[in-house]
Amino acid sequence: MGFAAVIAGTIEAMSASIIIPTFNGASRIGSCLDALLPQTAGLDAEILVVDDGSSDDTAQIVARYSGVRLISQANAGPATARNRGALEAKGKIILFTDDDCVPAGDWLSTMTKPFEDPDVVGVKGAYRTRQKALAARFVQIDYEDRYRLMSTFPQIDFIDTYSAAFRRDCFLEMDGYDTSFPVACAEDIELSYRMSARGWKMKFVPTAIVYHTHPDTFLRYLQKKYKFAFWRMLALRKNPNKTLSDTHTPQIMKLQLLFGPALLVAVAYDLLLHPRVPVSALVCAAFLFSTLPFAWRAIPKDPMVGFLSPFLLAARACAQVLGVTAGLISARRSTAKAATESHA
C-alpha cells in the first residue's frame, strides 16, 4: 500500500508496534522493556524484540516479560532485524528504539501524536542522559546543538533509530532499512534520505525522550565519530543530493572537517618557507573562531564542557575526516570491484 493510500484517523484509532532489535543485550534490554510495558497497557499496542542471533541470555530475559513478542533470527545485522520486526508487526504505526535506551513515560504517546496529521510519515525523538562523565556531558550538548538546528525546520530529513516512528505501509513501500549496512550506523540516515526524496513529511518532536548511555570516554566518542563518518559516506553515495546539506548536520561542522588537512599543509608550509606570520597559527585561530558559537551555547549548560569544547571539536573534526577519507576509499574500491565483476 502506497503513501497515497494512507488513511487519516485519530490517534485513538491507530495501532502501534514498538520494535527493539537486540544482539547480546541481556544486560540492557530489561530496563528498556520495564519502561515500555506500562505505556502499552490498555492500548492497541505491542512490543516486539528481534533477537539477532544473541549468544547470551537475551532470549531468556525477554521471555520473562508477559506481553512481549520475541522473534529470533540468525545474526544478520540490525537493519535486517528491524525490517523483520516491521514485517511481523501488526500496528499501523511502527516505532523503533534500541536495547540500550530507556524511553520516558510518555514516549509512546508523544511519538504517535504527530500522526494525527495524515501527511506525516515519520517522527524523530530526542536523546537525554543521566551520566555525569565529562565525555557523556559533551556528547549530550553536541546532540542538543543539533536538536536546536532541527527545531528550526518545519520538516526534517533525518530520523535516527533510537527514537523513530513511521507509518508501517510507507516503511514497507520503501523496503525498510538498507541491509547493505552491516552495523547500526547510517542505515537510518539512508532511509530518511530516501523518504525525503519522495517529499514525505517527517517531524522532529524534541519532547519524545529516550535516556541513553553515551560514550563515557573521549576515546570511545572519537571512535564512534570515526565509525559514523565512515558509514555516512555510503549513505551519501546512495543519496548524493544530501551531500551539501541536511536538517541534522550544522554546516560549520562540515567546514571544521578541513581543519586537520589544512593544519598539516600549513605546518609543512611554515617549515619550508618560514613566513613572518605562521600559517599554522592562522589555521588554528580560524578554527578556534569557528568553535566560539558552540562554546557560547555550551557554557550556560556546562561551563567545563564549554571551556574545553574548542579542543574537543578539533579532536572530533580529525576523527571525522579520517572516517570520511576511509569511507570514500572503501566506496571507491566497492565501485571498482562491482565494475570489474559486471565486465567479467
Indicate whether 7 pLDDT > 90: no
Q: Tell me the mean pLDDT in the region 270-278.
A: 94
pTM of the full predicted structure? 0.90
Q: What is the pLDDT of residues 38-71, one digit of tens each?
A: 999 999 999 999 999 999 999 999 999 998 999 9
Per-residue H/E/C for the chain: CCHHHCCCCCHHHCCEEEEEEECCCCCCHHHHHHHHHHHHCCCCEEEEEEEECCCCCHHHHHHCCCCEEEEEECCCCHHHHHHHHHHHCCCCEEEECCCCEEECCCHHHHHHHHHHCCCEEEEEEEEECCCCCHHHHHHHHHHHHHHHHHCCCCCCCCCCHHHEEEEHHHHHHCCCCCCCCCCCCCHHHHHHHHHHHCCCEEEEEEEEEEEECCCCCHHHHHHHHHHHHHHHHHHHHHCHHHCCCCCCCCHHHHHHCCHHHHHHHHHHHHHHHCCCCCHHHHHHHHHHHHHHHHHHHHCCCCHHHHHHHHHHHHHHHHHHHHHHHHHHHHHHHHHHHHHHHHHC
Q: What is the pLDDT of residues 280-308, one digit of tens each?
A: 999 999 999 999 999 999 999 999 999 99
